[in-house]
């Protein structure tokens, strides 16, 4: 059943990149439709650390102040070894916007972005099963039999992207690492202050980050073969506590206090950076963004941040093309050039972030006497500076 009318832009996926793109377009006066396969907004992963580049993107989208009001400004981080007998190192962030960092709850961010959109923009329970070309248009087939006709199709549908597959992307590569994530609530306050605590060693990397006065997000990545993605939450908690057994009691208590339904484990995946050298990021006025474009390991905290960069830059490039009126053929070519510009801007940034994240993760979780010595004595401060360097990116405003 084909729905009446032609849409300018259909976005597949109501995640960070999809909603950021939709809000950016809305700010430019361009209506889009967002298709979400779930029956509600999904916030897989609970929270993520936002850096300078994420705040620049949120400022461009007009949601930064609301998100800031709901999350604490981090003052610095404490980095230490997971084994006893190794002193931790502390680094305070300078009081500058270039070092602004907060741990933002995904649910809060998604709801904030969704609230900026006109009623009916997001269509839930809408799973894309097939895409076909029809002249200048794309025919998007949904699982319920509906067919949508659109000028532009944007895939923000994650690591298993249907749109990405149509463009010729391969499935992301699975690593040997698994990530366990959790969110812990303290009705009376957690007492952690406003610092990012990170511990590594023995093939493990873990972190504990306050989101606000009452909420702490934590994670642990590992290469153990004891667990798989079907492991029960009870066994996950036991495994994490065993890995953290030598850490201070207040750190371990975060995991002990976590509700079982507030924990999740998933295998880490990434797109080989060389695939982006020849990939079709945009073709036939179809493109991808977010995890559909650049899935990466979480080691430099740039997955969600770069997804917002994508949204602002993509909205700007599409806005320049669509807001210039003209014949259908002329508009098609303008959009084609706009998406080509977007792809050019995002290709090398994506390659850089994927490569850096994988390298940092490899160094932080490697084992062995010499690697431990090199990392602990010489590389820990370098890796911290590298993380901040990669976040110093300004996506610009929506209007060039």
85 DSSP 8-state letter:
T
What are the C-alpha distances in Å from 56 to residues 102, 306, 328, 398?
Answer: 13, 11, 34, 11
Question: Which of 108, 96, 114, 97 lies closest to 67 in space, CA to CA?
Answer: 108
Instruction: Give pLDDT tens digits for 309-361.
Output: 999 999 999 999 997 766 667 899 999 999 999 999 999 999 999 999 988 87
| pLDDT at res. 378 | 46
Question: Which of 122, 131, 133, 137 lies closest to 164 in space, CA to CA?
Answer: 131
Q: Which two tokens stand for residue 309?
A: 């960069």
Q: Which two tokens stand for residue 58?
A: 């949120």
Residue 122 confidence class, pLDDT cut points 50, 70, 90: very high
Residue 164 near residue 292, CB atoms below 8 Å: yes
| Averaged pLDDT, 242-250 | 91
Instruction: Give pLDDT tens digits for 52-86.
Output: 999 999 999 999 999 999 999 999 888 887 777 77
Distant-in-sequence, close-in-space partners of 214: CB < 8 Å, separation ≥ 6: 185, 186, 187, 189, 190
pTM of the model: 0.93
Instruction: Give pLDDT tens digits for 359-385.
Output: 887 766 555 555 555 545 545 555 666
| pLDDT at res. 96 | 80
| Averaged pLDDT, 268-289 | 96
Question: Which of 360, 361, 348, 362 lies closest to 306 in space, CA to CA?
Answer: 348
Which has more pLDDT, 144 or 230? 144
Distance CA 143, CA 174 (A): 28
How does 58-92 read in b/e, with b if 16+ C-beta sit within 10 Å? bbbbebbeebbeebbebeebebbbbeeeeeeeeee
| pLDDT at res. 380 | 55
| pLDDT at res. 218 | 97
Percent of the chain with pLDDT over 90: 72
Question: Which of 218, 162, 136, 118 lies closest to 12 in space, CA to CA?
Answer: 162
| Averaged pLDDT, 92-110 | 91
| pLDDT at res. 137 | 95
16-27 and 303-322 are packed helices; what angle lies between their axes, rounded to 10 degrees? 30
Instruction: Give pLDDT tens digits for 129-175.
Output: 999 999 999 999 999 999 999 999 999 999 999 999 999 999 999 99
| pLDDT at res. 371 | 54
């Amino acid at each position: 059943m084909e729905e009446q009318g032609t849409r300018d832009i259909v976005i597949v996926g109501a995640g960070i990149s999809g909603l950021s793109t939709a809000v950016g377009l809305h700010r430019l006066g361009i209506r889009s439709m967002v298709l979400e396969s779930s029956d509600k907004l999904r916030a897989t992963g609970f929270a993520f650390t936002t850096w300078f580049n994420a705040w620049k993107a949120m400022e461009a989208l007009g949601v930064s102040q609301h998100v800031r009001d709901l999350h604490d400004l981090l003052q610095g981080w404490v980095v230490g070894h997971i084994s006893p007998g190794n002193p931790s190192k502390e680094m305070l962030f300078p009081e500058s916007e270039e070092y602004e960092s907060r741990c933002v709850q995904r649910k809060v961010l998604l709801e904030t972005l969704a609230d900026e959109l006109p009623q009916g923009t997001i269509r839930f329970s809408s799973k894309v099963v097939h895409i076909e070309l029809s002249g200048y248009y794309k025919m998007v087939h949904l699982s319920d039999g509906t067919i949508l006709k659109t000028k532009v199709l944007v895939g923000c549908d994650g690591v298993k992207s249907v749109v990405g597959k149509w463009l010729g992307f391969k499935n992301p590569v699975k690593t040997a690492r698994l990530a366990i994530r959790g969110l812990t609530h303290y009705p009376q306050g957690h007492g952690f202050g406003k610092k990012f605590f990170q511990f590594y060693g023995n093939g493990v990397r873990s972190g504990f980050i306050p989101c606000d006065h009452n909420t702490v997000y934590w994670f642990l990545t590992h290469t153990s073969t004891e667990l798989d993605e079907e492991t029960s939450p009870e066994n996950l908690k036991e495994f994490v506590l065993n890995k953290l057994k030598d850490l201070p009691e207040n750190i371990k208590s975060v995991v002990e206090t976590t509700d079982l339904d507030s924990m999740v484990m998933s295998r880490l995946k990434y797109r080989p950076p060389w695939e982006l050298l020849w990939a079709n990021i945009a073709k036939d006025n179809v493109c991808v963004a977010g995890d559909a474009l650049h899935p990466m390991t979480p080691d430099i905290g740039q997955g969600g941040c770069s997804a917002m960069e994508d949204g602002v830059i993509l909205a700007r490039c599409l806005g320049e093309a669509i807001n210039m009126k003209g014949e259908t053929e002329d508009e098609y070519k303008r959009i084609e050039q706009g998406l080509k510009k977007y792809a050019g801007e995002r290709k090398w940034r994506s390659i850089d972030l994927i490569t850096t994240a994988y390298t940092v993760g490899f160094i932080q979780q490697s084992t062995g006497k010499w690697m431990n010595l090199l990392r602990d004595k010489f590389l820990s401060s370098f890796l911290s500076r590298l993380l901040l360097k990669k976040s110093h990116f300004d996506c610009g405003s929506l209007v060039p």
